Amino acid sequence: MPWRRVGRSEDFPAGRGRPVFYSRWRIAVFRAGPRLYAIGHDCPHQGGPLSQGTLDGPCVVCPLHGWAFDLQTGRSVNVPGASVPTFPVEEREDDVYLWVPE
Ligand code: FES
C-alpha cells in the first residue's frame, strides 16, 4: 500500500493548509476540526493554490477567485460540477501519512 509519511503532526497546525508535493502529485493537507483532510492542491478554475486557501467550516475557499471545495468530498459547494481529488490521510502516533497512488 502506498502510504507515505509526509511529516510530523505538529507540521500540520489547526486551521491551515500545507502543500505536499510527492512524485507527480500536488496535494493540499488541512487540519480542520478534529481531523486531517487531503485534496488536490491546484484549483480546477485557474490553478490557484488551495493550500493557501481559507478554511470555512468543512470547506476551503480558493485564494484567487473564491471557488469553495468540501474537504471531505472534494466537490465544489459554489460551482456545480467542479471538484478536486481527495486522498486518504491519517495520523499514527505523532506522524502524518498520506495515501497516494503509485
Ligand atoms: S483559481 Fe481558484 S477560484 Fe479561480
- pLDDT tens sequence across 28-85: 999 998 899 999 999 999 999 999 999 999 999 999 999 999 999 999 999 999 999 9
Quote the pTM value.
0.95
- pLDDT tens sequence across 5-26: 999 999 999 999 999 998 889 9
Query: 88 CA to middle of ligand 1, Å?
Result: 24
What residues line ligand 1, using a CB cutoff of 6 Å? Answer: 43, 45-48, 62, 64-67
Domain positions in the chain: 3-99
Q: What's the CATH superfamily of 3-99?
A: Rieske [2Fe-2S] iron-sulphur domain (2.102.10.10)
Buried b (16+ CB within 10 A) or exposed e, 47-62: ebbbbbbebeeebbbb
Cα–Cα distance measured from residue 65 to residue 23, given in angstroms and rounded to the nearest whole number: 28
Residue 43 CA: nearest ligand 1 atom is: 2
Query: 92 CA to middle of ligand 1, Å?
Result: 33
Question: Grid coordinates standing for 86?
Answer: 481527495
